[in-house]
Structure 1
């Protein structure tokens, strides 16, 4: 039997981690983030389906598919966080716990980054801890799922 799966989705430009604004986002690559997520999830008894797309529709398709294949979603929607009602609506329809993730502290950045279309449908938001934000999100999501199992 395989471990339950956490879907980790990454939006636009996250494929450039390690080379895009390293002073802001650090030198770790998206591959490094994936490895850290897999390691932590594995220790908690979960598998990870880790994906990245620069295309809003692809992210929406993956969110919709998650309803039948994942126990929750960790999402760094990148700039779509601040613009996409469509991603928000897909997350709400997925009926899964969601943790919103950002590498940087968006509240220390430009004012347009202070608004998220995702936060109100997410169980929580983790930002400002660099790539460790993802590990913290995996732990938080596992805690939510484990608590729901105990309550069932």
Structure 2
């Protein structure tokens, strides 16, 4: 298997750059993808970068990651706080998953401080904006080490 990561973005992340720039900044999802592609070159890995506003599509993409990727970086957006189905999918794929958020969810509204997926992820990166993506990539590659 090629050393490859799935970087998966959930609902409303397609609107990055224009959606609540005071919270999420002005970096677009395409800018984030380009950051990830640059980091992938540095790490000598491949990435698949995807976004969906649909919970089932996110789950399907996570299922398809088995046997194809060594791990997943998941910015589940609002599904972080509501989706038992995503939590179950993470548990089922038998791949390490890092939970990622652009904003610091622990400093926001009370409902955003609860994550259904954190208990089944290997770690969480939040509050660093787009810079969190390359951090997560490095962390995931370091975590899998020679296992991949």
TM-score interval (norm. to shorter): over 0.9
TM-score (norm 1): 0.94
Shift of 1:84: 0.3
Q: Partner of 1:115 in structure 2?
A: 114
- For structure 1, the 5+ residue unaligned runs are none
Once the two structures are TM-superposed, the CA of residue 45 in structure 1 deviates from its matched residue by 1.5
Question: Per-residue displacement from partner, 1:40-84 (whole Å, max 9, x unpaired)?
Answer: 122111111000000000000000110121110000000000000
CA RMSD of aligned residues (A): 1.2
CA distance in 1, matches of 2:37, 2:73: 12
Question: Structure 2: any 5+ residue segments left out of the alignment?
Answer: none
* CA positional deviation for 1:4: 1.6
Tell me the TM-score normalised to structure 2 length: 0.97
> SS of the counterpart of 1:27?
coil
Show the counterpart of 2:96: 97
Give yes or no for contact 2:59–2:89 (8 Å, CA) kept in 1: yes
Count of residues in correspondence between the two structures:
148
Question: What's the counterpart of residue 9 of structure 1?
Answer: 8
